[in-house]
Structure 1
């Protein structure tokens, strides 16, 4: 069983690593492979399990990809009918929800249903609720995320949730409610009702956000600063309904039923108390998972609970490890893409670590010692996944969890659920529970904030060779061995390479590397020399809780092994260039800042760009060509224009300059405009890239930092034609993802490396490149 399921898991993961889906004709092998599974030989079960996992994942992926939005419908005004399938979330001036589409009409032609769509309704939409059926005019596009080294794969995350299309509601007289909520969305309507009650009961925004996360799985009320506190203290798992929470609720249901059932002789004669308790535990787990919207983590937890309790209900003793492997198989059968989610590994590895460690160390002792040992086992078992996922390990995490987990298990979660039930029955009854709960959570959050301020983190690089991760996992397994085994010390030695590996690549003297990062409609670039690092612009702010600094730049810098920034240039004061500055400075506070509009930089510490601020790093020349006079320009034309050069060639970064600034550069710096590589001014706007400027630059490559199907239509086709006519190969971040060029003093200019191609998986959106 262990061999077959393990290789089934490896098979599903192998499919997820494919750049393109294999031919479906291989699916005919599936029934033949099932026929050989009863064979007991591991030599047969291993390849059969692998092939079955691969084919099972292939069939599932193929079915989901059939719900792809046709290219010809992207950006068009469509009339759709569908049912609201999730809780509507209102923030940042819009309401976001998922719609189950029943009908799509475009120019009187009805198109096939393409599944679920994530929609945003801006302004003040009517009161939306799950189960409502709406007719809406919308504009849609395929899900398209950013592709950067060390970045989050939003497209893969959406694919795992079954969502391939997103868009927004267009104001139209035909937008109307066409049907009342149906029976199929009853649990979602209950969740919506409970969310409204919690808003009335709990006014404190942080406590309200935590309670919504714990009761109905709605984490939209938690801010980015809240999540940072949870991450720094290793307590993020406490506010995301998963195995711990389902286990707590199931366990409370089990032991309460066991206690009461044994008090009734009549009931005990009809059904044994342990079997009744197991049944109630599964029902409690199911209801709690329903309150959480049957999210993927709760589905995994529910399966694990049902497998474990099923043995008791059926009076069938199943060994703990066998239960764990059976639960893993069921989860993969339900969702072969589950292995893509870090939560999958966190859930199963946490249980596996506890089972391994406690099985060998059941020596009695004080309860507090046993509980502390469990925290150590969980921290140790999850460390490889957390290092891969977050590149950081909060060292204070096990100590904080030693206190926080019991408080959440025995006080916070039971009080929250009982208070919710009381509010549904009689509002003042719920208040009796929520008043002490608010006080408890407020104090606990303050304690977590204090602990976060004192937390020390162990940082590791994410771009590590595979064999180092294999060594780290082997090291953890050895450390879980029982006391007295001489080889346990080897586990520490196997962990050292991961903890000490430096992923940053030292460039030779005189070389430099240029990254144009994929940040959507905005700009962020990084230039690396042998010992120094420059960031040019920090990208846009996406919402109240997200910006390019925290979402793209900082993960990129961590993944690349950079621990400092020597200088930041914010080309101008527009939001799409400075949106991530505060987040970057929060991580790298001792950084010098230049800007074309220093008065618009919130930190108040920016110096104006100017030719007198040119410098040299490691044999590479940095020259600020524009503006010549600080304060002489404003808006886009105040953008800092930077020329970077070595013996191999030159790079020209132009910011948002328009035709007036281009003319000024032609007049003052004509001989310095010629470059091998140029960023197209103002993202490819018609107001920039005049013919004289394009001809003077005479670039081999012209790069545009633009968002996928952005509302401005950048880069404009006539601008691209102008650069192509001048002999440049044109690339844009929407099509290429992050773009890298190397300027080698001895080998010339190397590139481009396009990360949407190098990081591609079969679910990633492939756009038509602007260059060919």
Structure 2
């Protein structure tokens, strides 16, 4: 039975690793073959085929519900209901829309929309909206987070921005009540932590700032502020424990069987908490696991621990096979499996403090391989932070918050409990901030498969019980973490990464011993591409420090991410073509036209217009030459500045040209394109950008000159091995069944 269940899980999980889905016409035959094998010895193979067929069918159904290609980028009038709690940050209202009707066919059943400067919205309201819709598409970079996979896992068929709208009907029923409860929680005096209370009670994390999330990430405590299996499981355990204590104290009525009541009370409390949290996917997963644990405790303890865990795994995957695309799924199930492996029924024989320490040590080490595989940061202070934060939040703050919420109708009682819970949260965040300042999260370099397998094997051996042969050798297998294999360019060569940062620019240049970042990506309000995309990509590529941060000019789409990068990966030197508008903390110095240097036999030369009248014209231009192959990075210079560059005497015949100003009509003059003679033209921009970049006239001029266009909006991050005269590589070419081509 266990073999068949493992095979079913394997078939369902294989979806995560498919480059493309099999043809729809093949799936009925795969399912039929699987069903035919179930009664025989090969039932495990049958379970695998059935799971695989169901997972592929579910994924294809989600893909078919995406916005049609011919409708991409168009604006539609549509009606729908607001689903879940709208997220309001920085004047932007973000929400999901369901139950959609429109005169246009082909619209998805679920949309993720943003309304800049939009009005207050509530869950359950019906709206008529004019929305510009886009097919699901994300940035594709060396950093493994995949936004398109995240959207598909949530079955979101399109994203978009609101142009206008009107409310058709007010919210009613439980959705409205839940939103009203959120507003009530945000209004209470919680010593400045009402947003964290709302996150713990109703699953609304919009009240947590970017700085809060950074602290939680650095200390490995994100899971504490997101309603997960830990919160629901701990509440179920507390309710179960209340009945068990009454029995131990002799006050439970002997005529009533206590165990069914304890399990029933725990299940009811978990369902109630799940309802408050909105029954999101992680909550559903937690409720399935809690239900099975309670059922196991009630009737089936003789089956051991692993069978219920397998049943929960298969149950969650059968309900929604796309959950395998989410990081939380892997982390939650692996965490439970690790605890089962480490303790194996020995928890009761240990003192509570020893058990808690053992659990934190096991989680810190045991989850390391999956964190590496998912490209998630590793918190070095996490074991210490969780040692006190987990019991404080789960056993004290969450019960106080829930009890205070229940008693809000009683004047003074609920507010007092929430004030205490908020004070505890404030103290907790102060301690976590200190830990984060002492030891930020570590984002290691991406490991090749063979090195990752060694680390995973080393972790498994280390976690085995004492006395197991080769257990001590597990620590040796962890060495690739400290000394990761790198793919550094040889002397005379340079690795160029034009990162996919949307409507902005960030270019990494690496020689054998040095690293330079040309521009740092944009920042939109509290969403910092430098911190979210550029920095993780640098870490994933094995860059541990920067010799030079070169900012072409001070516009936010080029320098917006500079502060975050300089804070977490300080560059030896910061240079910019425009100092006005840059934070003084960067310590930037002016671009010196004509300055040149050589790193590992790769030549670099700077140029800047002596007649610049604005920031774009002042862009610091960088020319790179490696083994005779040349690249010109141009920032946002315009046609007038291009003419000055042509007259500067700088040798401008290049192989690779970064198209000035993202392909703006005011740049890339015919004379400039002809003089550079580039065979390859690079464009960094976002799809459907408001500026119309690259302009059709610029594209025509490049094509007429014989230049091949490489566009981050179409190809994702672009990798060039300068000096080797090798073909360019776009990361979007790496096939994933959910990825837009």
TM interval, short-chain normalised: over 0.9
Distance 1:414 1:96, change over 3 A: same
Aligned with 2:306: secondary structure? helix
Distance 1:79 1:268, change over 3 A: farther
94-103 or 227-236: bigger deviation: 227-236
Distance 1:170 1:751, change over 3 A: same
CA distance in 1, matches of 2:421, 2:88: 25
CA distance in 1, matches of 2:419, 2:83: 32
Aligned with 1:88: secondary structure? strand
> Per-residue displacement from partner, 1:537-590 (whole Å, max 9, x unpaired)?
01110331x212111111111111111100011111111000100110011224
Aligned 8 A contact 1:585 1:591 in 2: no
CA distance in 2, matches of 1:427, 1:520: 51
Aligned 8 A contact 1:503 1:560 in 2: no
Give the superposition deviation at 1:26. 2.5
Superposed, 1:459-538 pairs within 5 Å as 460-462=444-446, 464-497=447-480, 499-538=481-520
Find the partner of 2:55 among 51, 54, 57: 57
CA distance in 1, matches of 2:354, 2:129: 59
Superposed, 1:14-93 pairs within 5 Å as 14-28=14-28, 29-39=30-40, 41=41, 44-93=42-91
Find the partner of 2:206 among 189, 209, 220: 220
Find the partner of 1:750 among 718, 722, 726: 726
79-88 or 288-297: bigger deviation: 288-297
1:569 aligns with 2:566: no
Aligned with 1:20: secondary structure? coil
In structure 2, the partner of 1:136 is 129
Unaligned runs of 5+ in 2: none
Aligned 8 A contact 1:534 1:566 in 2: yes
CA distance in 2, matches of 1:486, 1:467: 22
Give the superposition deviation at 1:417. 0.7
In structure 2, the partner of 1:769 is none
In structure 1, the partner of 2:710 is 731
70-79 or 734-743: bigger deviation: 70-79
User: Given the two structures, how large is their TM-score scaled by the length of structure 2?
Assistant: 0.95
Find the partner of 2:720 among 738, 741, 752: 741
Give the superposition deviation at 1:240. 1.5
CA distance in 1, matches of 2:65, 2:668: 40
1:165 aligns with 2:158: yes
Aligned 8 A contact 2:82 2:96 in 1: yes
Give the superposition deviation at 1:235. 1.5
Superposed, 1:60-459 pairs within 5 Å as 60-105=58-103, 110-125=104-119, 127-171=120-164, 175-181=165-171, 183=173, 186=174, 188-202=175-189, 204-205=191-192, 207-258=193-244, 269=255, 272-313=257-298, 317-359=302-344, 361=346, 364-390=349-375, 392-423=377-408, 425-455=409-439
673-682 or 63-72: bigger deviation: 63-72
CA distance in 1, matches of 2:217, 2:252: 50
1:715 aligns with 2:694: yes
Give the superposition deviation at 1:644. 0.6
Give the superposition deviation at 1:317. 4.5
Give the superposition deviation at 1:260. 5.7
User: Given the two structures, how large is their TM-score scaled by the length of structure 1?
Assistant: 0.91
Give the superposition deviation at 1:628. 4.0
CA distance in 2, matches of 1:590, 1:114: 45
Distance 1:458 1:75, change over 3 A: closer
> Per-residue displacement from partner, 1:257-280 (whole Å, max 9, x unpaired)?
4556899999764x6221122122
Aligned 8 A contact 1:596 1:627 in 2: no
Aligned with 2:519: secondary structure? strand
Unaligned runs of 5+ in 1: 767-772
Give the superposition deviation at 1:691. 1.1
CA distance in 1, matches of 2:118, 2:106: 30
Distance 1:674 1:59, change over 3 A: same
CA distance in 2, matches of 1:364, 1:577: 59
Find the partner of 1:556 among 523, 533, 537: 537
CA distance in 2, matches of 1:182, 1:363: 48
CA distance in 1, matches of 2:100, 2:201: 30
Aligned 8 A contact 2:190 2:421 in 1: no
Find the partner of 1:542 among 504, 524, 527: 524
Distance 1:260 1:82, change over 3 A: farther
Distance 1:680 1:268, change over 3 A: farther
Give the superposition deviation at 1:221. 2.0
In structure 2, the partner of 1:583 is 564
Aligned with 2:647: secondary structure? helix
250-259 or 684-693: bigger deviation: 250-259
Give the superposition deviation at 1:457. 5.9
CA distance in 1, matches of 2:315, 2:463: 26
Aligned with 2:85: secondary structure? coil
CA distance in 1, matches of 2:149, 2:586: 39
Give the superposition deviation at 1:307. 0.8
Aligned 8 A contact 1:198 1:212 in 2: yes
Distance 1:363 1:196, change over 3 A: closer
CA distance in 2, matches of 1:334, 1:268: 40
Distance 1:163 1:204, change over 3 A: farther
Aligned with 1:484: secondary structure? coil
Aligned with 2:157: secondary structure? strand
What is the RMSD of the two structures over their aligned residues, measured on CA atoms? 2.3
Corresponding pairs, count: 739
CA distance in 1, matches of 2:128, 2:4: 48
Give the superposition deviation at 1:180. 3.8
